Amino acid sequence: MKNNSVSPDKDFICSDDIRHHFSMAMSAMYQNEVPLYGDLVDLVSDVNAEVLTSHPDVKSQLLHTGEIERLSMERHGAIRLGTAAELSMMRRLFAVMGMYPVGYYDLAPAGVPVHSTAFRALDSHSLHKSPFRVFTSLLRLDLIADKTLQQEATATLAQRQIFTAGVIELIEIFEVQGGLTAAQAEQFVQEALETFRWHDKTPVAKALYQRLLNQHPLVADVVGFKGPHINHLTPRTLDIDAVQQGMQARGIPSKAIIEGPPRRACPILLRQTSFKALQEAVGFKVSDTSDLSNGGYEQGHHTARFGEIEQRGVALTQKGRALYDELLAAARRQLGVTPNEDNAAQYNQILAEVFTAFPDDYQTLHEEELAYFYYQLTDSTLDSEDGQALLAATLSTDDLNKVPNAKLTALINDEVLRIEPIVYEDFLPVSAAGIFQSNLQQAQPSQYDGYSSQQEFERDLGAAIYDEVALYESMQAQSLEQCLSSVSI
């Protein structure tokens, strides 16, 4: 490739734009591969249009936060990787698109032998330009009890190359130049897409696949394939219950339980549901190379890819999150077993009752410091010098990262400031485990005891993971700073 010597300046395409193009290309590819996903996107867009018409409050909130424009864009996908080298190169690939690892999720305690992070944009501006994110899991082969199989899996993974030579070259150019030109960016999107493509021919024999499957379906899904096919893409809805009903009405086989908190007036964190994984035909490599009657492959099937929908709510502070975790655990304890199809109605009822302990209006969530908010000037403050003077005088002596909540509450009550929820951009480990499990076709161990560590994950990743709470905190503080800097006093 030429252009190695382009100087780092205006000729480069913004990473946000590369991410946007990539997410559109990925969506088109997945729609082609899994047509049911396209039906889901249509259903979600109908439901969202209906909510925006019937709930002007929701519409005005999304206008104020800037989310309205990104609503129809893709939200998240998920992949599963096999080795530290794959994870580290994937981090470098996502960095080209302005996506960085945020949050650490250990799923082993929930019986899923992976640990994960989510690659996403970090600040509001970039998130609004393209909120695309990818939940990325690393398989933990160390949790495989059968040591012979563990070695075979390791050897199989060592032979695959999930990145094209072209994408690696472009990643290196990006790192040296500090950006990609338009032509390079376009080529990058095409080459990067190859990594996420579905392959209907496996590099392993059926017998090995079956042994991997018996160990855990996830092990087969990673080790048995040429690359980390995107396993779902998830649009964002404003009313997940309506989409769940819509799926059932259209005969789309949905998951019985919506993961996460119950339905509320003021949504918190993340609610998710999915349609079940498809059984897809795949050709397994025949080990007997003398039989090439079918091109060296024998027919079989694999179950992995599905569709998911999410509804996002306000991000919680550590205090809010602790309350969420406590209430979710209490609801599950009360149910006594893992929520499933047979106890869905009972679980939903318990969940709703238990969560009455979580305040359900934004004022109280703010006053009790349970959630994060953008501070914005009210229309009357924008029009009045008095309001602006009051704001400037009240906050003049404060460190904007640590303004006492009571002061801000007073400004809100005086209608100098208004609050708008900062949307939760991340994932939830219990929900993620539920999504994984509902899409695996056979029973698995209920938990792994092996220890997991963020440090080990970061070592494999080759970088530190961003702490999501710190990111929300700084978004909140920045919004206050913006209020102050935009007053003309």
Residues forming contacts to ligand OOG in the complex (CB under 6 A) are: 78, 80, 135, 137, 231, 272, 308, 427, 431-432, 435-436
Cα within 13 Å of Cα(267), Cβ side: 20
Stretch that binds Ni ion, among 9-17, 302-310, 350-358, 416-424 (CB under 5 A): 302-310
436 binds, among ligand OOG, Ni ion, none (CB under 5 to 8 A by kind): ligand OOG
231 binds, among ligand OOG, Ni ion, none (CB under 5 to 8 A by kind): ligand OOG
Instruction: Report, in Å, the least distance between residue 431 CB and ligand OOG.
Output: 5
**Using alpha carbons only, how large is the chain's radius of gyration in Å?**
24
With binding defined as CB under 5 A, does residue 259 bind Ni ion? no
381 binds, among Ni ion, ligand OOG, none (CB under 5 to 8 A by kind): none
Q: How far is the CB of 322 from ligand OOG (least distance, A)?
A: 20
Measured CA distances, 190 to 21, 76, 290, 464 (Å): 10, 19, 36, 28
Q: Which residue, 26 or 487, has its beta carbon nearer to ligand OOG?
A: 26
User: Using a CB cutoff of 8 Å and minimum separation of 24, what contacts does 349-358 make?
Assistant: 351/261, 351/262, 352/262, 352/263, 354/327, 354/330, 355/261, 355/262, 355/264, 355/327, 355/331, 357/323, 357/327, 358/261, 358/264, 358/268, 358/323, 358/324, 358/327
- Contacted entry of Ni ion, ligand OOG, none for residue 209, CB cut-off 5 to 8 Å set by kind: none
Q: Binding of Ni ion at residue 191 (CB under 5 A)?
A: no
Sign of the dihedral through C-alpha 24, 26, 27, 31: positive
Among Ni ion, ligand OOG, none, residue 80 binds (CB under 5-8 Å by kind): ligand OOG
Contact 214, 438 (CB under 8 A): no
Interface region with Ni ion, contact rule CB under 5 A, candidates 73-81, 150-158, 251-259, 390-398? 73-81
For Ni ion, the closer CB: 78 or 433: 78
**C-alpha–C-alpha distance, residues 84 and 460, integer Å:** 5
Stretch of 39-47, 109-117, 301-309, 475-483 contacting Ni ion, by CB under 5 A: 301-309
Binding of Ni ion by 426 (CB under 5 A): no
**Smallest separation, CB 133 to ligand OOG (Å):** 10
Q: Which residue is nearest to ligand OOG (CB)?
A: 432
3-state secondary structure of 175: helix
Interface pick for Ni ion out of 308, 420, 460, 468 (rule CB under 5 A): 308
> From CA 364, how far away is CA 202, in angstroms rounded?
54
Task: Taking each helix axis as running N to C, give the angle between helix 240-249 and helix 35-54, from 0 to 180 degrees, rounded to the nearest 10.
Answer: 130
Q: How far apart, in whole angstroms, are the C-alpha atoms of residue 11 and residue 229?
A: 32
Closer Cβ to ligand OOG, 420 or 468, answer by number = 468
